[in-house]
């Protein structure tokens, strides 16, 4: 079975159970926390390792997360380890967040800019996306800064990317000049 299918099925099961138990928001917060924790290379490699026994992985997860996450989420992590699905926990956490956003009609939008964006600009971007008809519900805006863009921004929405950066425009201009010079 493919990694995406495994992740999707486990994430869907957790989502449905959390909703049934009235703990959806708590579990979503836990999955965010868990996803951030998996950015730690040592934890990530530990969970992927076939050498480390499941009991040891469970005790390590307990030591890290026991008092920090919901009991339902903790039980889910235990089940994943017991079923031998711990190598896919990164993908399961990501799939859970995607499914949660779909369920709650939340559009995830990423903006990369040359300088930090203030709240007013962020609200203008959200308004423009709503006006375009791409989003009807809530918009979650994730921003990052890349000074190499020189100016402008890059907008990423699902599998689409709109690059309105000065660096891209300069690159296009350079290519156009090089094409005309070689003719």
Q: Give 87-114 pLDDT, tens digit per residue.
A: 999 999 999 999 999 999 899 899 999 9
- Among the three residues 73, 102, 131, which one is the final residue of a domain in this structure? 102
Domain identity same for 97 and 110: no
Task: Report the alpha-carbon distance of residue 162 to residue 12 in Å, rounded.
Answer: 31
pLDDT tens digits for 157-182?
Answer: 877 899 999 999 999 999 988 887 77
Indicate the residue among 57, 86, 102 that finishes a domain. 102
Tell me which residue of 170, 180, 100 sits closest to 140, measured CA to CA. 100
49 and 96 both lie in a single domain: yes
* Structural domain containing residue 42: 3-102
Q: Are residues 125 and 95 in the same domain?
A: no
Q: In the structure, what pLDDT confidence band is assigned to residue 183 with cuts at 50, 70 and 90?
A: low
How many domains does the chain contain in total? 2
153 and 161 Cβ atoms separated by less than 8 Å: no
Residues 50-67 pLDDT 10s? 999 999 999 999 999 988
Q: Are both 164 and 95 inside the same structural domain? A: no
Burial 140-152 (b: 16+ CB within 10 A, else e): eeeeeeeeebeee
User: Are 12 and 55 part of one and the same domain?
Assistant: yes
pTM (two decimals)? 0.77
Q: Are strands 160-163 and 106-113 parallel, antiparallel or unpaired?
A: unpaired
Run of H or E including 64: helix 54-65
């Amino acid at each position: 079975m493919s990694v995406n299918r495994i992740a999707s099925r486990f994430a869907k099961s957790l989502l449905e159970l959390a909703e049934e138990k009235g703990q959806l928001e708590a579990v979503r917060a836990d999955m965010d926390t868990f996803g951030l924790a998996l950015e730690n290379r040592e934890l990530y490699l530990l969970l992927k390792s076939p050498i480390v026994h499941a009991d040891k992985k469970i005790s390590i997860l307990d030591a890290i997360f026991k008092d920090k996450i919901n009991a339902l989420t903790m039980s889910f992590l235990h089940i994943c380890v017991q079923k031998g699905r711990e190598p896919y926990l990164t993908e399961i956490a990501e799939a859970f967040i995607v499914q949660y956003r779909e369920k709650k009609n939340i559009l995830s939008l990423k903006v990369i800019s040359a300088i930090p964006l203030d709240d007013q600009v962020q609200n203008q971007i959200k308004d423009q996306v709503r006006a375009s008809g791409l989003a009807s519900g809530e918009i979650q805006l994730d921003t990052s800064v890349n000074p190499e863009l020189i100016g402008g921004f890059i907008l990423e929405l699902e599998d689409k990317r709109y690059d309105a950066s000065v660096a891209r425009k300069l690159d296009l201009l350079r290519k156009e000049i090089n094409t005309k010079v070689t003719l």
